[in-house]
Structure 1
Amino acid sequence: MKVLIADNDKLKLTLGGVIVGILSGLVVSAFRWSIARLLVVFQSAYTAARSNVILIVALLVLVIVVGLLVSCLLKKEPNISGSGIPQVEAQLAGEMELKWWPILWKKFVGGILGIGPGLFLGREGPSIQLGAAIGQGFSEFTKENGVSKRVLIASGAAGGLAAAFNAPIAGAMFILEEVYHNFSPLVWVTALASSVSSNLIALYVFGLRPVLDVPYKFSMPIKYYWHLLLLGVVLGLLGRLYQVVLLSMPALYSKTRIPRNLQGLIPLVLIVPIGMMFPMFIGGGNGIIINLTNLGTSLKLLIGLLVLRFVFSMISYGSGLPGGIFLPILNLGAIIGAVYAVSMHSLGLLPLAFESNLIIFAMAGYFACIGKAPFTAIILVTEMVGSLKHLMPLAVISLIAYLVVDLLDGAPIYESLKERLNVDSNFLNKASKLNDRLEISVFEGSSIDGKYIRDVPFPKDILIVAIYRGEAQIIPRGDTVIKAGDRLVTMVNAAKRAKMKKIMEDLIN
């Protein structure tokens, strides 16, 4: 039984990551382009419908037809619902089995139809699921199983995010921080290879301009850093509110008595009057972020925009339509930053010239606390705005916002959404054959640091096959001492992988 990954296998997986990244880049670029073009068409139609009753009726009929088409896709494949990130996390954790081809084409079509009319949904979650499906399809084509298959799925997910946002480093970091929660070298290298190759395709299609080319005049002086602390607290409080409301939306929708696959009709019908009144404020929100500083200093306008984006983001995502929350979260963070900057300027506490800075910082802080992935947030915003000048303030505000949500017992939003998925119990109760690889890191302060392997009460359904200490590989024995920084390589049953991971993490904490 082959349990460890040899150097030639690492090279093979890295090359596989490059191929998966190229394929993900092509698919996600087409997905991204289609949504952008369809949104422009709908914005023009909403504007024209203001004085044309016939066009209003036609738009209502059109969005209902779109909703019915998407509902058919959801009924046949419920796992294309929402962003798709929780499904990818469950699949990589060994809690779900997904069929890649139905996911790929139905998410592609359903995402375009669901997001294109202007709903407050993002393209990045679906892009991650599209990339993961491509990685799974490639692994099945090359007949990879176990750890190699999961690594290729993860690399596809990283490539999907990279192409969606032109953010290759953040794509790889998201997989490590949000999905795996550890820095496995094997996953890191393969995901990075996929992200870079996928991003090259996206850059060829969309150009070198940053996705969020927010103009700013000056770097923020140290004397104004106290604003980062205060804004971080505000972001943390509003981030926890976001988590609570978003997780309550399925229960609220269930009270409508409308079947789950048809609930998307509600936001699709509502987007018609919203689009007619505010055509410039619909969609995922990247255009809003770029133009926020052009809206002036009206707090009434900015707060109204914040309420509109928050409420309808909840209605859009809560319906279960294929679409993500990644970009809407960044959008809300940017608006909160603008509201804060204008408020402080009106009080004479901050020059308005730093509004752009706080917009950029608040995007990272808001995503850091809601997703509880601060490193991803910092790198993502850095890549999206195309500047390295904001690393220190991004780190400060992300840390403060993260700590506030942590003190309020907020969990990572994608982890919380994953726990609400309908997992097939038959899949989790398969035979106890040790046929999958699980890697666990021993952190500083772990309860098993300094102990002999024979003295640690490891579960019976797990077999320790190797210990990595830096680049050195140690064959474990009963008298082998475990040290902080070690990576324990174990064999588990694939169907019990998530359960064993939780047991091991509890054991070593």
Structure 2
Amino acid sequence: FIGGLLAIGSGLALGREGPSVQMGAAAANTIGRLLSLGQADCRALLAAGAGAGLATAFNAPAAGAVFVLEELVGRFEARMVCAALGASISAILISRGILGGQPDFIVFHQVLPEAIAKQLFFVMTGLMTGLLAVGYNRTILAALRLADRLPVSIPVRAVLIGGLAGLVVWLDPHLAGGGDWITQAAINNTISWRIIPALFVSRLIFGAISYAAATPGGLFAPMLALGALSGLACSFVAQILSPDTALATTPFVIVGMASMFAGSVRSPLTGIILVMEMTGSSDLVLPLLSGSFAAMVVAGALGDTPIYEALRLRAATGRR
């Protein structure tokens, strides 16, 4: 908790779900041991606690439960479903009692294009964002490899990266942190198309460097911010390709968020449900499915390894 508070509070481009997932898993596992439960039960509780941590971080109970089944255990079975749902629901009841139940992002309803040809723009968004998701994964892994080669200890590395974060915060506070401001600004269409490439590259590099600091922090929030920028850029492209139709930008931004998640993590159900709960956009199911599918096709065609699988492989070989 303290490590996550210091790392994220200092301005590193990290997500709050990282420490929340770890703390939820640790607390659940401790409860299982205190109750003298068997190994299988402790594993189920650990996974359910991790999902509860994700649910609390983003006020997204369904996404927390699906995250357990799709990403952590990789299977749907009645016992695990019950544990995941129970943990996520109880966590959300407590957190909403303290923090309230408003979605993370404020989204105003915008009419979707009805023509099938216009719906294909969301497939285009998924294709472009899937390509960027591959670049995101490879940038994260490249930063970790570079950090491993530095002739300094991990604490010294963290000090150097922390100093960089301080410089970023001083130059432009909006570039620092998990990226919620960027996501909300993209939803509101208050970011000029001229600065999207520079903003995307800056956040991509700073996020990778922040993760290489080896401090507590997650990837979800920075990843969603990059997806929002990609979706916003695609909305401008769609408007150029179809100047005769006024296209709302917000659906593209939301589809970009889910597509980035699907292309990077390769857990489309978690990404779609998470984005819908964070934005209250349950009317975008078809565009979200289209974009996420296209992003996964691109990532798979390029032979990219899902980011958490790649990180697990690094851990298995003894590298951070």
TM-score by length of 1: 0.60
Paired position in structure 1 for 2:112:
219
Query: What's the CA shift for 1:421?
Result: 1.1
Query: What's the CA shift for 1:220?
Result: 3.6
Equivalent residue letter for 2:216: P
* 2:41 maps to 1:182: no
Partners of 1:352 and 1:207 lie apart in 2 by 35
* 2:22 maps to 1:129: yes
Equivalent residue letter for 1:268: G
Query: What's the CA shift for 1:420?
Result: 1.1
Query: What's the CA shift for 1:243?
Result: 1.3
Q: Deviations over 1:84-127 (max 9, x none)?
A: xxxxxxxxxxxxxxxxxxxxxxxx11110111111110011211
More deviation in 219-228 or 318-327? Answer: 219-228
* 2:85 maps to 1:192: yes
* 2:98 maps to 1:205: yes
Query: What's the CA shift for 1:213?
Result: 2.1
Paired position in structure 2 for 1:309:
203
Partners of 1:406 and 1:226 lie apart in 2 by 20
Q: Deviations over 1:202-252 (max 9, x none)?
A: 212221210122334223423411111211111111111111121122221
On the 8 A contact 2:187/2:228 being kept in 1, the answer is: no
Equivalent residue letter for 1:273: L
Partners of 1:113 and 1:177 lie apart in 2 by 30
* 2:141 maps to 1:247: yes
Q: Deviations over 1:237-287 (max 9, x none)?
A: 111111112112222113331112431222211122211221123210122
Paired position in structure 2 for 1:505:
none
Partners of 1:390 and 1:298 lie apart in 2 by 24
**RCO higher in structure (CA 8 A, sep ≥6):** 2
Paired position in structure 2 for 1:62:
none
Paired position in structure 1 for 2:281:
387
Rg (Cα) greater in structure: 1
Paired position in structure 1 for 2:313:
419
Paired position in structure 2 for 1:367:
261
Partners of 1:339 and 1:390 lie apart in 2 by 18
Equivalent residue letter for 2:67: F
On the 8 A contact 1:216/1:357 being kept in 2, the answer is: no
Paired position in structure 2 for 1:110:
3
Paired position in structure 1 for 2:150:
256
Equivalent residue letter for 2:293: L
On the 8 A contact 2:189/2:249 being kept in 1, the answer is: no
On the 8 A contact 1:167/1:384 being kept in 2, the answer is: yes
Q: Deviations over 1:443-483 (max 9, x none)?
A: xxxxxxxxxxxxxxxxxxxxxxxxxxxxxxxxxxxxxxxxx
On the 8 A contact 1:217/1:353 being kept in 2, the answer is: no
On the 8 A contact 1:299/1:343 being kept in 2, the answer is: no
Percent identity over the alignment is 34
Please list, as runs of the form range in 1=range in 2, the aligned pairs for 1:281-320 lying within 5 A after superposition: 281-294=175-188, 296=190, 298-320=192-214
Please list, as runs of the form range in 1=range in 2, the aligned pairs for 1:137-156 lying within 5 A after superposition: 137-156=30-49
Equivalent residue letter for 1:385: T
Paired position in structure 2 for 1:328:
222
Equivalent residue letter for 2:206: F
Equivalent residue letter for 1:250: L
Equivalent residue letter for 1:298: S
Query: What's the CA shift for 1:297?
Result: 5.9
On the 8 A contact 1:264/1:319 being kept in 2, the answer is: yes
Partners of 1:163 and 1:293 lie apart in 2 by 22
Partners of 2:28 and 2:151 lie apart in 1 by 37
On the 8 A contact 2:17/2:218 being kept in 1, the answer is: yes
- Mark the CA change 1:205 to 1:241 in structure 2 (over 3 Å): closer, same or farther: same
SS of the residue corresponding to residue 330 of structure 1 reads helix
Please list, as runs of the form range in 1=range in 2, the aligned pairs for 1:60-75 lying within 5 A after superposition: none
More deviation in 374-383 or 271-280? Answer: 271-280
SS of the residue corresponding to residue 253 of structure 1 reads helix
On the 8 A contact 1:317/1:323 being kept in 2, the answer is: yes
Partners of 2:144 and 2:98 lie apart in 1 by 37
Partners of 1:173 and 1:419 lie apart in 2 by 23
Partners of 1:408 and 1:422 lie apart in 2 by 24
Partners of 1:297 and 1:423 lie apart in 2 by 42
Q: What is the aligned counterpart of 1:270 among 144, 164, 167?
A: 164
On the 8 A contact 1:119/1:271 being kept in 2, the answer is: yes
Partners of 2:133 and 2:244 lie apart in 1 by 24
- Mark the CA change 1:352 to 1:327 in structure 2 (over 3 Å): closer, same or farther: farther
On the 8 A contact 1:232/1:398 being kept in 2, the answer is: yes
Q: Deviations over 1:26-61 (max 9, x none)?
A: xxxxxxxxxxxxxxxxxxxxxxxxxxxxxxxxxxxx
Bigger share in strand: 1
On the 8 A contact 2:29/2:46 being kept in 1, the answer is: yes
* 2:259 maps to 1:356: no
Paired position in structure 2 for 1:119:
12
On the 8 A contact 1:114/1:321 being kept in 2, the answer is: yes
On the 8 A contact 2:188/2:250 being kept in 1, the answer is: no
Equivalent residue letter for 1:129: Q
Equivalent residue letter for 2:75: N
Cα RMSD after superposing both structures: 1.8
Structure 2, gaps ≥5 residues long: none
Bigger share in helix: 2
- Mark the CA change 1:351 to 1:308 in structure 2 (over 3 Å): closer, same or farther: farther
Q: Deviations over 1:10-41 (max 9, x none)?
A: xxxxxxxxxxxxxxxxxxxxxxxxxxxxxxxx
The count of residues paired between Structure 1 and Structure 2 equals 317
Equivalent residue letter for 2:151: R
On the 8 A contact 1:167/1:383 being kept in 2, the answer is: yes
Equivalent residue letter for 1:319: A
